[in-house]
Chain A
Amino acid sequence: MTQDLVTVTIDGLQVQVPKGTSIIEAAKQAGVLVPHYCYHPSLPSPAVCRMCLVEVEKAPKLMPACVTTVAEGQVVHTDSPQARKARTGVLEFLLINHPLDCPICDQAGECELQDYVFQEGQAGTRYGDYAKRYNPVEEFGPDVLYVANRCILCTRCVRFMDDVAGAPVLNVSERGDRAHIGIDEGQLLDHPWAGNVVDLCPVGSLISRDFLHKARAWDLDKTASVCTGCSQGCNVTLDTRDNLVVRIRPRANLEVNRHFICDTGRMNYRWMNRGDRIEAPLAREGGHHVATDWEPALARLGGLARKGGSVVLLASAGASVEALTQLRALAGQGRVTAAVQVPLAEQEEPLQGVSGLALRKERAPNADGARLVGYGTDWAGAVRAAAGADLVLLLDVTLTDAEAALVGGAAAVVVLGTTLEQVLPVAELVLPVTTVAEESGTFVNRDLRVQRFQQARTAPGMARPAWWVAAGAAGADLGSAAEAFAAAAATVPALGGVTYADLGLNGRAVQSPGRRADGVPA
């Protein structure tokens, strides 16, 4: 289907974009970033901040790039003297009431006001003779604080709550330079997706209490990852400092979560920093566990797997495709029962303004990946089968006492685990594996989209990725997560042919034969 294309020249570079594209988006294609505040690709555009004014030849006035659509043959100058003066003007106006809070403001280092002032603002202010306004900090919700002094009235937060969250609990109150963001006193900003207003705020006006004064933006390492909270698979960035995950932020993926994540996913990082980890391979000698090296541990695991007999795999639905595939391969071609534990919540929490986006009932990131690799979801049945199995392999699961008692009935139990509570006294081997934050791998979300996550922190002790453990025990020669994924792609029909390069950092949807009407694979 052909689209009407329009040719425009932006800062001397010619681009072709679909008819109806705004100048600001067309400029991105020309590699030009037009400075802006109130514009956001996932929100309706009000053109109020006036930062994006650009010079358009033959137009009588400067035009706001965010709402002006391209016209054939248009010539745009985003950095002409007129455009620059207008921008410097806006910055100066914003700074007359905006306090010099940078030394105590969380946004410093990732602040768009700082960025643009540094890029093209004035070195000093002409507003020296007057006091700045003062307003107290307000608690909008359990996590969101509103520092009114810093607000530049871009209204992104109001538009997000109105149009994307569908919960108009924020407003602009009063008029003129008395205007500020308001919330109805009886309300809290506790919508399941409200935390996004903190990301949307270009300055440090809406801030997160959870992140308050925790870390400076420039001290953070930022790693592309995927949220583990549910089967939606929102793309996230893990921010780490000194090997601790201190914050999760959404990462843009126009096919999945656009620019947003829910509050549940946002706060779901503390477990990544747990210190009570299994740090060395443990082998059962004479009735108790003794620390050992990987080589003997893997050899012993390989021996157990080769013995044959019935094998039961009990895995977390948060395990990666790579791990689940290698574990399945290790279990061999005999009688194998493989199941993942998928925690189910009562409710979904959709973000009404983005179709297909919600906090899902399946509160695990890779249930569909597990299904594709051949795991079932009848956990109770698999646990019962474990009671009489020859070999039970557990991957990152914490059993209840009742489940542990059943599993204890197996001939041999091997635990691939992360935290100490997963250790079972009856286990022949307890092997330390990495969490999603400590390895690279892939998940498959509920829409059968395969997405990569990357290692954000170093693994504790001797912990290794579970795919490495299983492959090593089976004698397979896999040196990297990419090779492990290639191995998975070779054996799982639905993944056929897909490589890490194909996936990039936003993933790719694959199809599975036999999908049910509701989209869940049969």
Chain B
Amino acid sequence: MGYPHPSHPKEQPVLSKHFGDAGARTFDGWVKRGGYAGLKKALGMTRDQVIDEIKASGLRGRGGAGFPTGMKWSFMPKEVTKPHYLVCNADESEPGTFKDREIIRWTPHQLIEGCAIGAHAIGAERIYVYIRGEFTQEHKILVAAVEEAYKGGALGPSAFGSGRRIDLVVHRGAGAYICGEETAMMNSIEGRRGNPRIKPPFPAVAGLWASPTTINNVETLSAAGHIITHGAEWYKAFCVGNPKSTGTKLFSVCGHVQKPGNYEVVMGTPMRDLIFDMCGGMRPGRTLKAVIPGGSSVPIMTAAEIEGCAMDYEGIVAKGSMLGSGGMIVMDDSTDIVYQVMRLARFYAHESCAQCTQCREGTAWTTKILERILAGQGRREDLDLLLDLADNMTGKTICVLSDSCAAPVVSAIRKFPAEFDAYISRQKQPVMVTV
């Protein structure tokens, strides 16, 4: 990848190969770089053949859940009796994550190609790309690229002359993290409040307008073209020994590293290599304190825990956290863990849709307790209270926003107790004033 840093030798640029290359943005530029070969090949395959290839590749959802993509596509009905829909999740709002934005701004056709392949595989004639409202420039780029794709024949009533109709509509969000949740996203596309839905029914049975729907992340779909072009075996080979996690993953590294940015590595690459080699390690005079590896909704890892951590789905779970979206927030010793956990809690409280009691009230209460601690009014019991609230907020709601608020709070209290003690014992000066 050439943007914002030249590719590191330990990277494996597949999706990010053309980041920084403005020429890759156009239809012709993409074709020149080998693009749309995957779509053309897929259109000559049956739905099942495409699904089998994706299954064999081991591709798993790159938005955060890690669900096997081929299996997800196979849940769609074989017979098309109602319209099928493909939704591309470009809502990217998980703190720490900024990979989908790069894919769209540098290689929109990579995404369009992947969407079209997905649409073909699931029997959909229409794709909705849900792009968050704040991605103003990416929206313009994508809309222009879609127009080009229609002109170039990749989209339209007969994609590349195959007789398959593939249409793509870009739908702009308007400021709601929760719309990144797949059922909330469908409600948002339908012109409703972005409230997550209860499951069942599952989207593949009754999704958009009660019709079979599949929702996939930008990064997941962008891989499809490469897999079809080069084959499942090629993709599976990107693997450091855990056959359940194959392919490459874009890790968005941000925070206290010398070279923040997106890094595409083979699944299973050691976390240490990413932070200390590729990202250039800590700023001068600073030591690593904590890492939140998967976007903010996963447990915090200590500096010790990243040692020997392989960056794949199972590897990070083995170290007590989750791969999630791969948005890696790196914090050095200058970080006030309590303050940042408060700021994360405040994020979740702001974004809660308000349906479920535990989330609506619990995220706000959690924030208030942390603010009080930071204001020098904390008590020992507040930590037990936070842990109990987190327990009451976990596993009990329609979606996992509530759980996501609890995860960093619980892990911070358990792994960085001294930080909290410093405020509670009044050793540390308050950094906030409560109103």
Contact = CB atoms under 8 A, between A and B. Distances in A.
Contacts of B392: 85-86, 89, 92-93
Contacts of B365: 93, 96, 127
A43 interface: no
A50 B397 contact: yes
A48 B351 contact: no
Interface string A58-88: 0001101001000000000000000001100
A47 B198 contact: yes
A64 B396 CA distance: 9
Contacts of B350: 175-176
A153 interface: yes
B141 interface: no
Nearest to A53: B396
Contact of A175 (B354, B357, B361, B396): B354
Contacts of A47: 198, 398
Interface string B350-364: 111111111011111
A152 interface: yes
A96 B389 CA distance: 12
B101 interface: no
B385 interface: yes
A48 B398 contact: yes
Contact of A153 (B354, B362, B395, B396): B354
A228 B356 CA distance: 41
Given A85-B392, A89-B396, A126 B385 contact: yes
A92 B351 CA distance: 21
Contacts of A176: 349-354, 360, 363-364
Contacts of B398: 47-48
Nearest to B365: A96
Contacts of B176: 175
A64 B395 CA distance: 11
Nearest to B384: A126
Q: Interface centre among A47, A62, A89, by most B CB within 10 Å?
A: A89
A494 interface: no
Contact of B361 (A51, A85, A86, A96): A96
Counting chain B CB atoms within 10 Å of each CB, which of A61, A92, A96 scores highest?
A92
Q: Assign chain A's interface to a size class.
A: 20 to 34
A48 B355 contact: yes
Interface in A23-53: 46-51, 53
Contact of B198 (A64, A86, A96, A177): A64
B377 A94 contact: no
A184 to B, nearest CB: 15
Contact of A90 (B349, B357, B364, B377): B357
- Among B352, B362, B385, B396, max chain A CB count under 10 A is at B396
A218 interface: no
A89 B402 CA distance: 13
**B360, B368, B377: most-surrounded residue (chain A CB, <10 A):** B360
B18 interface: no
Interface in A155-199: 172, 174-179
Contacts of A93: 357-358, 360-362, 365, 392
Contact of B358 (A90, A126, A127): A90
A179 B357 contact: no
B193 interface: yes
Interface string A87-111: 0011011101100000000000000
B165 interface: no
- Please classify the interface of chain A as helix (H, G, I), strand (E, B), loop, or mixed, using the class held by over half of its residues: loop
B353 A175 contact: yes
A55 to B, nearest CB: 12
Contacts of A178: 354
A85 B365 CA distance: 18
A333 to B, nearest CB: 65
A194 B397 CA distance: 30
Contacts, number: 83
A129 interface: yes
Interface centre among B176, B350, B356, B361, by most A CB within 10 Å? Answer: B361
A94 B354 contact: no
Contact of A177 (B361, B377, B395): B361
A271 interface: no
A130 interface: yes
B372 interface: yes
Nearest to B350: A176
Contacts of A153: 354-355, 357, 360
Contacts of B351: 175-176
A50 B377 CA distance: 32
Interface string A361-373: 0000000000000
Contacts of B362: 93
Interface in B144-171: none
Interface in A386-444: none
Nearest to B354: A179
Nearest to A90: B357
Contacts of A96: 361, 365
Contacts of B372: 129
B28 to A, nearest CB: 43
Contacts of A129: 368, 372, 377
B91 to A, nearest CB: 16
Contacts of B352: 175-177
Contacts of B356: 48-50
Highest count of chain A CB atoms <10 Å: which of B351, B356, B397? B356
Nearest to A155: B355
A60 to B, nearest CB: 8
A355 to B, nearest CB: 22
Contacts of A177: 349, 352, 354, 360-361, 363-364
A61 B368 contact: no
Nearest to A64: B198
B378 to A, nearest CB: 10
Given A89-B358, A93-B357, A46 B198 contact: yes
Contacts of B198: 46-47, 64, 67
B193 A152 contact: no
Contacts of B360: 93, 153, 176-177, 179
Contacts of B397: 50
Contacts of A172: 193, 354
A94 B357 contact: yes
A94 B359 CA distance: 11
A501 to B, nearest CB: 43
Contacts of A67: 198
A61 B395 contact: yes
A46 B364 contact: no
Nearest to B395: A61
A325 B193 CA distance: 58
Nearest to B198: A47
B357 A49 contact: yes
A50 B354 contact: no
B396 A61 contact: yes
Contacts of A130: 368
Interface string A108-147: 0000000000000000001101100000000000000000
A127 B368 CA distance: 10
29 contacts: A46-B198, A47-B398, A48-B357, A48-B398, A49-B356, A50-B356, A50-B357, A50-B397, A53-B396, A62-B395, A85-B392, A89-B358, A89-B392, A89-B396, A90-B358, A93-B358, A94-B361, A127-B365, A129-B372, A129-B377, A130-B368, A175-B176, A175-B352, A175-B353, A176-B353, A177-B349, A177-B360, A177-B361, A178-B354
Given A96-B365, A179-B360, 17 more contacts: A46-B355, A47-B398, A50-B358, A51-B357, A53-B396, A86-B396, A89-B396, A90-B357, A90-B358, A93-B360, A126-B385, A129-B368, A153-B360, A175-B176, A176-B349, A176-B354, A179-B354
Q: Which 7 A-B pairs have CB atoms at the shortest separation, nearest pair first?
A: A89-B392, A179-B354, A93-B361, A48-B355, A176-B352, A177-B364, A61-B395
Interface of B: 176, 193, 198, 349-358, 360-365, 368, 372, 377, 385, 392, 395-398
